[in-house]
Amino acid sequence: MATQTRRDFLISSGAIAAASAVGASGSAFAADKPDMGFKIESGAKLSVLRWTQFVSAEEKRWMENTKKFTDLTGVEVQMDRAGFEDIRPKAAVAARIGAGPDIILGWFDDPHRYPDKLVDVSEVANNLAKKYGGWYDVCKTYGMSGDKWIGLPIAVIGNEMVYRKSHVQAAGFDTFPTDFPGFLKLCQALSAKGTPPGFPLGHSVLDGNGWTYWVLWGHGGKVADEKGKVVLDSPETVAALEFVQQLYKTFPPGTLSWLDPSNNTAFFDEKVSLINNGISVYFAALNSTDPKRHAMAEDIFHAHLPIGPVGKPTELQGITQMMLFNYTKYPNAAKAYMQFMMEADQYNAWLHDSLGYVGQTLKAYEKNPIWTSDPKITVYRDVASRMLPDGYAGPLGTASAAVMADYIVIDMFASAASGQQTPKQAAAAAAKRAERYYNA
């Protein structure tokens, strides 16, 4: 299938219309019922903080859906944006001082850092589950505290292998490796060819956490066990760190300071040919007006993260949750907005326009035509069913959220990879940092 044909499909109104029909069981936002059963407060206004877009069409559709909500309900919504790395501290400040945006699109288990500061949104979550095939189990883990929903998982942002097929073939591989030994050999071969891989070791919220947790879990390491006891200082963790020491030798200079945008930039600058990322790289190439970058799209392919010694997927995917803070003056209007944005008419169009950059958290949306419109996109359809929660294997809570927010796992890998500490020293130091949160 030619690039232009794929692109034509992705921007066609017919495809959007088809997507909007998937999973719809009647629009609950018909003109006779614009409040979704929530009695919207008189004079309600909302402020929402979300992360800065990586795919322009995704944010454009989000804003169009928001305007649609305002047109139907009369509720004005002020939309603000912050960088990926800035959302978490801004949300933490809002929770601490009791003031800020009504709704914040946070990351991972942020709601578990301050559950007493959030409004119970169980009614919204249960409404959506009944209509759209239920939530993936991992989304329940992230969104619930006990039997109460404290966050509403709106999307999984898949973080998979993004590579130049011609470079992988030139390195001697006809297919992308599916296990850790093959993956390391590929990276070494790519580096030898002058087309290295590159993975972030700076404080990168999605990409840095994504690949370091994957390697840790793939070797059988974990921050905490099922009872919440810190077990990071283990032979399995040391094995993971030793693996990354070898991997790091294949990286170009500078990855110790890479943030989320860094590997995208390096990929397009042709400094690397293999990264872990969302589908935003492919989307940007496919829609670029730069002929050279647009041509690159034909050579960009995706693969699931290889399987480690544990013998099963150990992927950490980015998950973003809508959190409704209890200082809001308009909780009903906020709940109506949250549910509206996840109804089929809005959500399917959002999935479609993002080219799969955002993935579904409700099972019915697996049927969205975007996932099979281009075989390069299909990998990202399955991320919610393959992922583990970041606190694995322990419970999610303030400790697991704080460990991720403090970048303990990334820092551990960076320290060992760069030679600042031996793997054993890095594991021991990281465990002590984690224990401060788990034993608090």
Q: pLDDT: is 3 or 296 the higher one?
A: 296
The answer to which of 4-8, 41-45, 50-54, 378-382 has the lowest mean pLDDT is: 4-8
Max Cα distance, the chain (Å): 66
Are residues 104 and 232 part of one domain? no
Does a structural domain hold residue 21?
A: no
- Please check the confidence at residue 7 and state whether its pLDDT lies above 50: no
Nearest Cα to 234, choosing from 439, 417, 412, 436?
Answer: 412
pLDDT exceeds 90 at position 12: no
Instruction: Say if 9 falls within a structural domain.
Output: no
How many DSSP H helices and E strands does the chain contain? 19, 10
pLDDT score of 36: 63
Q: Average the pLDDT over 45-54 and give the result.
A: 94
Residues making up the chain, counted from first to last: 440
Q: Which domain holds residue 271?
A: 160-316+406-438
Residues 334, 310 share a domain: no
Q: What is the mean pLDDT of residues 207-236?
A: 97
What would the pLDDT profile of 69-87 be if each residue is shown by its tens digit?
A: 999 999 999 999 999 889 9
Look up the CATH number of the domain holding residue 143. Answer: 3.40.190.10
Same domain membership, residue 269 and residue 249: yes
Interval 338-358 mean pLDDT: 95
Mean pLDDT for all residues in the chain: 91
Average pLDDT in the 388-400 region? 93
Same domain, 133 and 174: no
Backbone torsions φ then ψ of 173, nearest 5 degrees: -120, 120
Strands 103-107 and 318-324: antiparallel
Say which residues have a Cβ less than 8 Å from residue 177's Cβ, sequence separation at least 6.
183, 185, 186, 306
- Please tell me the predicted confidence (pLDDT) of residue 169: 98
Do 217 and 392 touch, CB atoms closer than 8 A? yes
Indicate if 273 and 415 belong to the same structural domain: yes
Per DSSP, the residues of 308-323 read -TTSS--B--EEEEEE
Residues 164, 273 contacting (CB under 8 angstroms): yes
Residue 25 confidence (pLDDT): 39
- pLDDT score of 10 more than 80: no
Check pLDDT > 80 for residue 8: no
Q: How far, in whole angstroms, is CA 44 from its chain's centroid?
A: 31
Q: Are residues 132 and 211 in the same domain?
A: no
pLDDT (tens digit, 9 = 90+) per residue, 96-128?
999 999 999 999 999 999 999 999 999 999 999
336 and 291 both lie in a single domain: no
User: Does residue 163 register a pLDDT over 50?
Assistant: yes
d(Cα 63, Cα 200) in Å, to the nearest integer? 30
Residues 152 and 280 placed together within one structural domain of the fold: no
Q: Number of structural domains, the chain?
A: 2
pLDDT band at 287; cut points 50, 70, 90: confident
Checking if the pLDDT of 27 tops 50, the result is no
Both ends of the chain: CA-CA distance in Å? Answer: 56
**Considering the chain, what percentage of its residues have pLDDT values greater than 70?**
92
- Give the model's pLDDT for residue 107: 92
**418 and 288 fall within a common domain:** yes
